[in-house]
Amino acid sequence: MSENGKLSNGDTDVSLDLGHPRDPNGNASDRSIGVVAKSSAGFNTLLAATFVVFLGYGTVLPILPLFLDRVLAVTIPGDVSLHTGLLTGVYTLALFGFAPLWGSLSDRLGRRPVLLWGLAGFALAMLGFSLTRNLPLAYGVRALAGAFAAAVIPVALAQAAECDDATRRARRFAWLSAASTLGFLSGPMLSGWLASIPMVMPQSEMLLGGPVAWPFVVTAGLAGAVWLLLYHHVREQSAHRPPADEPAGEPASPRAIGGFLTLTLLAMLGLGAFEVGLSLQARQSIGLDPFRVGLLFTECSLVMLAVQLLWSAYPPKRLSPGHLIGGAFLLMAGGILGLPYASGFWEAFVVVGLLGAGSGLLIPLLAYQVSLASGPAQGAALGKQTALASLGQAVGSAGAGMLFVGSALGTYWGLAVVLFVTAIVTFVVHYHPRVIALVKHAPRQD
């Protein structure tokens, strides 16, 4: 980072400020490149698309074991647990593999067609899962759902990024992160209500395999409705290419992108490990019942949502991204380190709040920084970030499940140290060039 608050990459400087960029004449710039920037309905449609994709993921998680048992006739408890985990992993793996491909494709063909294909495929895959009656087909359909969801998440961010105003872009990213958090939080509640549908609509037992299939049907219907909104409100036909007489956008900064992608991987690794660790610690060590464990997970989502909405309403201008990223990693480290020492519900409540605040700030902030550093290749860079976020969360969850069994305390400490060192490195990278500059210009004592 150079003295003027930019990440230096040799030939390219990537601004990390949240202020308003200016045109060559010194006037504040508020030009909008993408169609979404010209219509509030267009951006609201992006929010709805992001919401419904994460709603589908959250809806499936609590109902999947019941679906395996009642519809797919997997009755052995060990097999139900195994296939629940594997079906979730297949979805995440597809998200990891296809997000960079869809992102790059949107840079070449435009955001609108990729979003339309993604939502259509996601809706059909969710509907197809409700009709599935054998296990191999269930794996194939879940993989398709993840592959098409991978077209929505990064491309919605790339479309929202097509705006010259940095503050507006930051707010959009925070709103999209809030939409994803709200969708994930609403999913289990929706599936729980739909699973009780026979009490409201007894004839539903005759439809699509019974009430356990209804969450997939409803999610597919919502995705179809959002597809119609997207078709009518987002009119962009191709990726933006500036006219010959218009200056090209800022070039990409590979070093900066790589740094922020690494931070994304570490942040999601910590979040995934914390989620599994919280579930194990709360039940085995603290002795909380499932209801209170659910409250802790709900608290985590609500704190993340609150932080993201606060950031969208009041983007910080005095604190640099280096301060915010480092501070957020410190909050995550404190939450993870405090978890093994929590002896009751309220102690766990505090450390969950710390983790939720840190991760809730990091998710939109890192996406925003990747967007700033990626130049015209928004889709490709944000697709890679989506892929690494999925990979980090999956590895963190799996690693925590295996390591906590043997050495719970050591695993907590090891992960906390990694996040703490990441925070320190972030602060050092932010201040190191400035310290060198001060030393160089300091008066010598003869």
The domain that holds 299 is classified in CATH as 1.20.1250.20
With bands split at pLDDT 50, 70 and 90, how would you rate the model's confidence at 394? confident
- Tell me if 63 is assigned to some domain: yes
Buried b / exposed e along 154-177 (16+ C-beta atoms within 10 A): bbbbbbbbbbbbbbbbbbbbbbbb
- Tell me if 26 is assigned to some domain: no
- Residue 175 sits in the same domain as residue 118: yes
- For 422, residues 6+ apart whose C-beta sits below 8 A from its C-beta are 263, 266, 329
> Among 121-130, 317-326, 373-382, 436-445, which range has the highest average pLDDT?
121-130
- Residue 228 sits in the same domain as residue 326: no
Per-residue pLDDT, averaged over 36-59, amounts to 82
Q: How far apart are CA 338 and CA 340, in angstroms?
A: 6
Per the CB < 8 A criterion, the answer to whether 212 and 70 are in contact is yes
Phi/psi for 9 (5° steps) reads -135, 45
Q: Which of 191, 209, 235 is the last residue in one of the domains?
A: 235
* Per-residue model confidence (pLDDT) at position 157: 93
Per-residue pLDDT, averaged over 135-150, amounts to 93
Per-residue pLDDT, averaged over 112-118, amounts to 95
Global pTM reads 0.78
- For 229, residues 6+ apart whose C-beta sits below 8 A from its C-beta are 41, 45, 48
Q: Which of 244, 267, 304 is nearest to 389 (CA)?
A: 267
Which residue range forms the structural domain that includes residue 416? Answer: 1-18+251-446
- Tell me if 315 is assigned to some domain: yes
- Tell me if 25 is assigned to some domain: no
- Tell me if 328 is assigned to some domain: yes
Instruction: Out of 117-121, 281-285, 328-332, 396-400, pick the least confident.
Output: 281-285
User: Which carries the bigger pLDDT value, residue 332 or residue 132?
Assistant: 332
- Tell me if 28 is assigned to some domain: no
Q: Is the pLDDT of residue 171 over 60?
A: yes
- Residue 291 sits in the same domain as residue 418: yes
- Residue 436 sits in the same domain as residue 299: yes
- Residue 289 sits in the same domain as residue 381: yes
Tens of pLDDT along 257-274? 899 999 999 999 998 888
Q: How far apart are CA 375 and CA 381, in angstroms?
A: 9
Average pLDDT, the chain: 78
- Residue 345 sits in the same domain as residue 429: yes
- Residue 5 sits in the same domain as residue 59: no
Q: Report the percent of the chain where pLDDT is more than 90.
A: 35
User: Which carries the bigger pLDDT value, residue 223 or residue 402?
Assistant: 223
* Per-residue model confidence (pLDDT) at position 8: 38
Q: Which of 202, 235, 268 is the last residue in one of the domains?
A: 235
Q: How far apart are CA 334 and CA 283, in angstroms?
A: 21
- Residue 11 sits in the same domain as residue 40: no
Tens of pLDDT along 408-420? 677 788 889 999 9
* Per-residue model confidence (pLDDT) at position 355: 93
- Residue 431 sits in the same domain as residue 343: yes
- Residue 325 sits in the same domain as residue 382: yes
With H, G, I as helix, E, B as strand and everything else as coil, classify residue 32: strand
- Residue 151 sits in the same domain as residue 284: no
Q: Which of 207, 235, 263 is the last residue in one of the domains?
A: 235
Count of domains in the chain?
2
Q: Is the pLDDT of residue 38 over 70?
A: no
User: Which carries the bigger pLDDT value, residue 63 or residue 8?
Assistant: 63
- Tell me if 24 is assigned to some domain: no
- Residue 193 sits in the same domain as residue 266: no
